[in-house]
Amino acid sequence: MRRIVLLVLSCSTIFSSFHSRATQLQPQTGLWRSQHQVLVNGQDILQQMKALQQQMLAAVPAEQRALVAGMLPKKDLSTAQECLTAAEVALLKTPEQWLSRAKKDLPRCQLQLTGSTTNSVSVKGQCQDQGGYTGSLQGTVTLKTPQWMQMNMQGTGQYKMPLPGQAQNGDVQFTLSSDSRWQSASCAAAAR
């Protein structure tokens, strides 16, 4: 489960950073909040992971529940906050510069641009054991306004580990959707 989360977070980080790098329409600097949905073979994997955690806690004796709860991740994986600085916005402005950054963030994926407009970029590629995933990857990120960005990615391949509700080491089709909205000019809330 951790590996799919790492792949999802890597992809969402890369694509959430897109809005600062690949378009003529520039995003606002400051705090952004993203909502993610990850479907694996049509099933919402993040919700399944949350349900498994709740089931696990319910099965633990009451006197041990607080201890076990303390060991589980407290962060909701379907949401994320990220601070976008003026330096980040200024650093990468073209699709090619963004692609270079994406390649750094996903070193085990061979990525290429498949298209771009003044407010979107599309990529495709092949990943070799990136966070446990080997297979294809393609997607588009669109900056709707300086305060709103959407990302949609798809892929077909295999995971090296079992996923909730999935056969171990089986073929998977995934879809990652993200909706990111600017929250404030200050990133102080992200540090909390």
Say how far apart CA 91 and CA 121 lie, in whole Å. Answer: 17
What domain range is 63 assigned to? 2-191
The residues, ordered by sequence, that sit 6+ positions from 71 with a Cβ below 8 Å of its Cβ are none
The residues, ordered by sequence, that sit 6+ positions from 61 with a Cβ below 8 Å of its Cβ are none
> Mean pLDDT, to the nearest integer, of 124-153?
90
The SS3 of residue 147 is: coil
What is the model's pLDDT at position 2?
A: 44
pLDDT in tens, 71-106: 776 677 788 898 988 888 776 577 887 777 778 888
Query: Taking each helix axis from N to C terminus, what angle separates 45-59 and 62-71, rounded to the nearest 10 degrees?
Result: 150
Q: Which two tokens stand for residue 144?
A: 């709707």
Give the confidence band of 7 by pLDDT, cuts at 50, 70, 90. Answer: very low
Residue found by looking up tokens 């990302």 in the block:
151
Higher pLDDT, 72 or 173: 173
Q: Which two tokens stand for residue 92?
A: 């990468």
Say how far apart CA 115 and CA 142 lie, in whole Å. Answer: 12
Number of domains in the chain: 1
